[in-house]
Amino acid sequence: MRFLTRRRRSKAAKPLAILMALFAMGLLYSVASPATQSSAETASPEQIARGKAIFEQTCSSCHGLNGEGTSEGPTLIGVGSMAVDFQMGTGRMPMARPEAQAPAKPTDYSAEEIAAVAAYVQAEFGGGPQVPTSDQYSADGMTSEKLARGGELFKTNCSACHNIEGTGGALPNGKYAPSLEKTSDKHIYEAMRTGPQQMPVFAKGTLTDEDTREIIGYLQTLHAQPEQGGLHLGGLGPVGEGFWAWVLGVGGLSLVAVWLAKKGARAR
Ligand code: HEC
Ligand code: HEC
């Protein structure tokens, strides 16, 4: 303490403090934004050329040779590599035929081919949100509090369309919110950030990367649970929700009971 006050009074202290603050900010920035240095910046001309060839052959008929869009598909200007990675990685794109909603399905493309098209779109069509790094979506080592918080966030933001158990549900006009049971962690993250079709975009201002990791962790625990035989709640929406209300309600009541008992004991 003495040392600090003395230093603060000395002439060197102010610039030193500013320098240290700048250094700390730089450090924070480099820790907070690893995503800024991903695919596109490190993409080689060969990778981009490969992506261009695939794009012109399989995507341009609907999205236009310069990603400007056609009557068959929207513009890809500014969508970025993340949207391409999501759309191709989940098998939605290339769309086989015009329909209300491109279904998720196993993709015919290798990870390298998808990365090449993503790098091409990122480099040539104005750029946009980039493919996330695993530290942005990995839910490793989540505490049970964080998983519970993820469950709350899922309930508030996602369950209206995807159902409380993430098993999906119908939407108006023949569209649907798909089941999330088989979706990879990376694609869950990308869906939240890019908001495909009717799904809203959940930007970092709404859900931080920490929030998205908690949601991903919650979905992992939800879908890792083996079915207990007999009654499968997932298919029965309202029953499933009633069940949860019951569990939470009874859980809450027991907590109150414990609290009352403790209070009673202290009073005595
Ligand atoms: C038969 C036409 C067709 C083909 C071929 C096609 N797309 Fe699409 N694409 C669409 C339509 C229609 C949509 C919007 C509806 C949807 O998302 O389901 C779309 C949406 C997208 C989106 C999301 C855009 C956004 O705003 O988020 C991306 C990214 C995309 N396509 C990339 C590709 C890539 C890459 C290929 C080639 C590998 C491809 N598409 C091939 C028709 C097509
Ligand atoms: C307004 C309804 C709506 C809400 C709210 C919503 N989604 Fe979606 N979601 C959709 C629709 C519709 C699709 C399918 C889009 C498509 O196929 O292009 C989708 C697709 C997805 C996919 C892709 C699944 C796959 O099989 O590839 C994931 C993952 C996802 N949503 C997660 C979430 C999460 C997590 C939240 C909450 C933070 C959320 N969604 C909120 C409607 C919604």
Distance 213 CA to ligand 1 centre (A): 27
Ligand nearest the Cα of residue 162 is: 2
Number of structural domains (the chain) is 2
- pLDDT (tens digit, 0 to 9) for every residue of the chain, 268 residues total? 455 545 555 555 565 565 565 555 544 544 444 444 444 457 999 999 999 999 999 999 999 999 999 999 999 999 999 999 999 999 999 998 878 899 999 999 999 999 999 999 999 999 999 999 999 999 998 999 999 999 999 999 999 999 999 999 999 988 999 999 999 999 999 999 999 999 999 999 999 999 999 999 999 999 886 655 544 444 444 445 555 565 566 667 777 777 777 776 665 5
Instruction: Report the pLDDT value the prediction gives residue 41, as an integer from 0 to 100.
Output: 57
Q: Which of 68, 183, 60, 46 is nearest to 115 (CA)?
A: 46
CA distance 242 to 250: 12
Of all protein residues, the one whose alpha carbon is nearest to atom 14 of ligand 2 is 177
Distance of CA 158 to the CA centre of its chain: 12
Residue 24 belongs to some domain of the structure: no
Residue 264 belongs to some domain of the structure: no
Instruction: Report the pLDDT value the prediction gives residue 263, as an integer from 0 to 100.
Output: 72
Q: Which domain holds residue 218?
A: 134-225
Instruction: Report the pLDDT value the prediction gives residue 226, as an integer from 0 to 100.
Output: 65
Tell which atom from ligand 1 comes closest to the C-alpha of 195.
Answer: 27
Whether 152 and 178 share a structural domain:
yes
Whether 142 and 86 share a structural domain:
no
Residue 203 belongs to some domain of the structure: yes
Question: Is the whole model's pTM more than 0.85, yes or no?
Answer: no
DSSP readout, 24-53? HHHHHHHHH-GGGSSHHHH--HHHHHHHHH
Residue 238 belongs to some domain of the structure: no
Instruction: Report the pLDDT value the prediction gives residue 70, as an integer from 0 to 100.
Output: 96
Structural domain ending residue among the three candidates 91, 124, 157: 124
Residue 169 belongs to some domain of the structure: yes
Please report, to the nearest 10 degrees, the dihedral formed by the alpha carbons of residues 6, 11, 12, 15 taken in order.
120
Whether 151 and 219 share a structural domain:
yes
Distance 225 CA to ligand 2 centre (A): 21
Residue 33 belongs to some domain of the structure: no
Q: Which two tokens stand for residue 246?
A: 């019951």
